Amino acid sequence: MLKRAKNLADSVNRSKEIHIVTHIDADGITAGAIASQTLKRMGKQHSIEFVKQLDKMVLERLKNENHELVWFTDLGSSISVNSPEINKIITDHHACPDDSDLNFHLNPHLFGLDGSFQISGAGVTYFVSKSIDQKNMDLASLAIVGACGDLQDRKHCRLVGVNRQILEDGEKAGVVQYKTDIRYFGRETRPIYKLLQYASDPLIPGLSGRESACIAFLQELGIKMKDGGTWRNWTHLSKDERRTIISGIARLLLTKGFDHKMAKRLVGEVYILDEEKEGTELRDAKEFATLLNSTARYGQCDVGLNVCLGDRGAWLKKARTLLQGHRHNLVEGLQFAKDAGIEKREYLQFFHTGTGIRDTIVGIVANMLLNSGETSNDLPLIGFADKDKGEVKASARGTQELIDKGLDLSIAMKKSAELLDGVGGGHNIAAGATIPKGKEEEFLDLLEKEIKTQLSS
Ligand code: C5P
Ligand code: C5P
Ligand code: ZN
């Protein structure tokens, strides 16, 4: 991989003008920011754009734009063979065919690694950046944010694989710290009872989703929720207080019949961005990633990009406003999906919200629902949302248990979509597709057949 990274770095070095094309999520923004910052430091003429997906139209346009070099980050693996007209390098981590002799494509899947948890799009981009100049090691913090944005810490409750090397670089450069702590979202910015109320992995029986129950639980444990007039958040608590709460939750889980494996998921590694102010969304890598998702998925990528490039003024303020909107949309989206109804089939379950949920966040909603305890999680969940131009977006999410049984949503979504003249791909545990509107039923039939085959072989 390092040798391949060097090849790509050489291409960058040789080019005078470079256009970056990246993906509209947290991993995509951080990947694009790493590439962009690297080129800026080299004094190269460069530009950047964000796309939802690489389709024929985007490729055709890029071809006509005649860039000296196009740098695809966090996407591009699907086009590596069939677009010889574009002079390009690709740093991606999506599942791809084994065309490992293509020396312009850096992708963990070409080196026997799994891009769903061992390294993200920002991570592979970081390796090229570091290969260009060791001084770029400070960009490791962005690569960690990207990995967290793609939930790469989920499988082992910590980052593993090549991500570990990036983490070490970040530590050496003094930009990232890691420690073991509660894994729930919002350590830096949420009042403690809110952290518990929104807890989802693992769910806390009796507390998740119930504000007053969370407040009562903390009072019973003797935890002071406010300091003067302000809410205390997790990082304000003493070690003892934290331990008391974690033990309390673990007890709840075990008495409600959850196993030790579940209780163990309470605690894991958390990633702290050393240079960021305490108590802000930017200090915790997971919170940072959510802030970025709040920009990118709403067509406001430059907001997230400028925050990644260091702005802590107007752009950050804008990002925070977008974050409020994103939170609202997720809550509303969950309700939309539940109201639409989750229909179960033998090998999958699905919901269709029509225009109720944006196509760019239907995957997040599907993920939340699958892990909310309100749907069975022994079937993969597919969420449909209308796009414009007569198309429908499908987002599929699975669980680790299903992956261990042979499920590969990336292959299933890609195959089924392509049979209907659509496109699809992603990771074994999370994949997406775009298909013509009206073909949903047919798509589900194809998908179900493929999933059945995967699970029974
Ligand atoms: O496009 P990209 O690869 O950046 O996105 C990865 C997607 O996979 C994210 O939507 C992330 O939430 C999902 N994922 C998941 N569970 C995992 C790993 C990734 O849902 N264990
Ligand atoms: O869009 P969604 O969040 O469902 O995407 C899940 C994963 O599938 C992401 O990694 C995304 O990049 C990938 N995907 C893809 N091709 C598509 C749609 C999604 O590779 N057409
Ligand atoms: Zn990614």
> What is the per-residue pLDDT across 80-112, written as a single tens digit (0 to 9) for each?
666 668 999 999 999 888 775 678 999 999 999
Q: Which atom of ligand 1 is nearest to the CA of 28?
A: 4
Q: Is 423 in the pocket of ligand 2 (CB under 6 A)?
A: yes
Q: Strand, helix or coil at 383?
A: strand
Assess if residue 312 is contained within a domain.
no
Assess if residue 326 is contained within a domain.
no
Assess if residue 333 is contained within a domain.
no
Residue 29 sits in the same domain as residue 136: yes
Residue 104 sits in the same domain as residue 151: yes
- How many Å lie between the centroid of ligand 2 and the Cα of residue 161? 22
Domain termination site, one of 277, 303, 329: 303
Residue with tokens 């910590």: 158
pTM of the model: 0.95
Residue 272 sits in the same domain as residue 214: yes
Per-residue pLDDT tens for 265-287? 999 999 999 999 999 999 999 99
Assess if residue 412 is contained within a domain.
yes
Residue 161 sits in the same domain as residue 27: yes
The pLDDT profile of the chain, 457 residues, written as one tens digit per residue, is 999 999 999 999 999 999 999 999 999 999 999 999 999 999 999 999 999 888 888 999 999 999 999 999 999 988 766 666 899 999 999 988 877 567 899 999 999 999 999 999 999 999 999 999 999 999 999 999 999 999 999 999 999 999 999 999 999 999 999 999 999 999 999 999 999 998 888 889 899 889 999 999 999 999 999 999 999 999 999 999 999 999 999 999 999 888 888 889 999 999 999 999 999 999 999 999 999 999 999 999 999 999 999 999 999 999 999 999 999 999 899 999 999 999 999 999 999 999 999 999 999 999 999 987 778 889 999 999 999 889 999 999 999 999 999 999 999 999 999 999 999 999 999 999 999 999 999 999 999 999 999 999 8
Q: Which atom of ligand 1 is nearest to the CA of 152?
A: 18
Residue 354 sits in the same domain as residue 274: no
Residue 406 sits in the same domain as residue 429: yes
Residue 447 sits in the same domain as residue 392: yes
Q: Is 306 in the pocket of ligand 1 (CB under 6 A)?
A: no
Q: What DSSP designation does 139 have?
A: G
- For residue 380, give the ligand nearest its CA: 1
Assess if residue 319 is contained within a domain.
no
Residue whose CA lies nearest to ligand 1 atom number 18:
151
The structural domain count of the chain equals 3
Assess if residue 332 is contained within a domain.
no
Report the relative pairing of strands 226-227 and 230-231 from DSSP bridges: antiparallel
Q: Which atom of ligand 2 is nearest to the CA of 433?
A: 21
Per-residue pLDDT tens for 39-69? 999 999 999 999 988 888 899 999 999 999 9
Residue 46 sits in the same domain as residue 114: yes
Indicate if the alpha-carbon torsion angle 369, 370, 373, 375 is positive or negative: positive
Residue 362 sits in the same domain as residue 432: yes
- How many Å lie between the centroid of ligand 2 and the Cα of residue 45? 30
- How many Å lie between the centroid of ligand 3 and the Cα of residue 134? 23
> CA 200 to CA 191: how far, in whole Å?
16
Assess if residue 359 is contained within a domain.
yes
For 271, the domain range is 182-303
Q: What is the pLDDT of residue 80?
A: 63
Residue 395 sits in the same domain as residue 264: no
Assess if residue 176 is contained within a domain.
no
β partners of residue 433: 394, 424
Residue 261 sits in the same domain as residue 221: yes
Q: What is the pLDDT of residue 100?
A: 56
- The CATH number of whichever domain residue 150 belongs to comes to 3.90.1640.30
Domain termination site, one of 170, 199, 216: 170
- How many Å lie between the centroid of ligand 1 and the Cα of residue 430? 5
- How many Å lie between the centroid of ligand 3 and the Cα of residue 274? 23
Domain termination site, one of 257, 273, 303: 303
Per-residue pLDDT tens for 366-400? 999 998 777 888 999 999 999 988 999 999 999 99
Residue 111 sits in the same domain as residue 55: yes
